[in-house]
């Protein structure tokens, strides 16, 4: 039997460490994907807590990934943002991948806004599109809920039939419309990575109903639903997926597109944060 250390005491210890820096109670948790980490630096009334000062908080080994929990305000909304996240493909256990989401919930957040960079495989998609996630395929082969259930966090068999909150999705659509662009909507397939997919894998994923593919998000959303958070997920389609794209995939293309659409993405997040009403 594999050993699964209890998470609830670790989350409590981490929350204690954060509370030595600030007693803010955020309404909304933000997970910022590739190219968006800088958004945390634009929040009002910021308090920055480096991951290294939080017990059990996993730190990414990827060079250039800031690791900070950033508290701040957007309009009336009190937010806490993860600037930097860890991925399964780096070798972290699933419980570490979702640790930050559980911590932000422990600190008070009832809503999760989660973003990522993804390859597009939906019909008519172009690099630079933003896609609201309507549902996901967890193809990582892993779950953050593996092991004995921790009843303090949630139920053994959490419902995933409306994992992405329809009300928040409608709000995101309305914000995009008001800002003059169309937000796409579709299914995100989350894979282990870190190699990009083969064209045959993309054909398979399309057949399975995927419109976007990436290497994050699905475990964090499972953890968020387990503790009862409502979720809005948005993908930045940084490239067309393998076999659809006329050229080879590269991380440079991903970061270049993420940078190009950053302003639009930030506008969407800000609009949603200003207009969402905390439950």
Active-site residue numbers?
34, 65, 87, 89-90, 117, 215-216, 239, 251
Maximum CA pair distance of the chain? 54
The residue number whose beta carbon is nearest to ligand HPA equals 119
Structure tokens at 214: 């990436």
**Buried (b) or exposed (e) across 104-118, using 16+ Cβ within 10 A?**
bbbbbbebbbbbbbb
Tokens of 213: 């593919």
Residue numbers 63-92 binding ligand HPA by CB under 6 A:
none
Q: Does 238 bind ligand HPA (CB under 6 A)?
A: yes
Q: Is 254 in the site for ligand HPA (CB under 6 A)?
A: yes
Looking at residues 111 to 130 of the shown chain, list those that interact with ligand HPA (rule: CB under 6 A). Answer: 117-119
β-partners of residue 240 are 120
Of 159, 220, 150, which is closest to residue 190 (Cα–Cα)? 220
196 binds ligand HPA (CB under 6 A): yes
Burial bucket for residue 166 (CB in 10 Å: 0-12, 13-18, 19+): exposed
Exactly one of 101, 249, 268, 273 binds ligand HPA (CB under 6 A); that residue is 249
Output the smallest distance, CB 213 to ligand HPA, in A: 5
CB of 239 to ligand HPA, least distance (A): 5
CA–CA separation, 128 and 261 (whole Å): 6
The answer, yes or no, to whether the previous bond of 110 is cis (omega within 30 of 0) is no
Which helix (H) or strand (E) is 253 found in, with range?
helix 251-260
Query: At its nearest, how many Å lie between ligand HPA and the CB of residue 255?
Result: 9
Binder of ligand HPA out of 30, 79, 215, 223 (CB under 6 A): 215
- Using the rule CB under 6 A, which residue among 58, 100, 169, 214 binds ligand HPA? 214
CB of residue 116 vs ligand HPA: minimum separation in angstroms? 7
Regarding 189 and contact with ligand HPA (CB under 6 A), the answer is: no
| Binding-residue total with ligand HPA (CB under 6 A) | 13
Per DSSP, the three-state class of 233 is: strand
233 binds ligand HPA (CB under 6 A): no
What CA–CA distance (Å, rounded) separates 223 from 154? Answer: 9
Judge contact between 128 and 235, C-beta under 8 A: no
- Among 14, 130, 213, 269, the residue binding ligand HPA under the rule CB under 6 A is 213
Question: Using CB under 6 A as the criterion, which residues of the chain lie in contact with ligand HPA when the complex forms?
Answer: 117-119, 196-197, 213-215, 238-239, 241, 249, 254
């Amino acid at each position: 039997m594999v050993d699964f250390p209890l998470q609830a005491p670790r989350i409590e210890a981490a929350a204690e460490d954060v509370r030595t820096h600030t007693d803010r109670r955020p309404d909304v948790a933000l997970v910022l994907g590739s190219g968006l980490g800088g958004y945390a630096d634009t929040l009002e009334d910021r308090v920055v807590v480096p991951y290294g000062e939080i017990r059990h908080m996993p730190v990414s080994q990827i060079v250039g990934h800031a690791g900070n929990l950033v508290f701040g305000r957007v309009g009336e909304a009190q937010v806490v943002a993860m600037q930097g996240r860890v991925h399964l493909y780096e070798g972290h256990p699933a419980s570490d991948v979702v640790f930050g989401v559980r911590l932000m919930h422990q600190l008070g957040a009832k809503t999760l806004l989660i973003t990522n960079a993804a390859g597009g495989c939906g019909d008519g998609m172009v690099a630079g599109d933003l896609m609201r996630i309507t549902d996901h395929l967890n193809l990582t082969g892993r779950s953050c809920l593996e092991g004995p259930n921790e009843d303090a966090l949630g139920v053994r068999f959490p419902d995933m039939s409306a994992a992405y909150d329809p009300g928040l999705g409608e709000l995101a659509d309305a914000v995009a419309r008001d800002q003059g662009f169309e937000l796409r909507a579709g299914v995100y397939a989350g894979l282990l990575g870190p190699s990009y997919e083969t064209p045959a894998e993309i054909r398979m994923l399309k057949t399975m109903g995927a419109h976007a593919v990436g290497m994050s998000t699905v475990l964090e959303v499972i953890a968020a639903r387990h503790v009862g958070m409502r979720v809005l997920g948005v993908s930045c389609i940084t490239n067309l997926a393998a076999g659809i794209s006329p050229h080879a995939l590269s991380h440079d293309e991903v970061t270049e597109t993420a940078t190009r659409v950053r302003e639009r993405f930030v506008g969407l997040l800000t609009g949603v944060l200003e207009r969402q009403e905390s439950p």
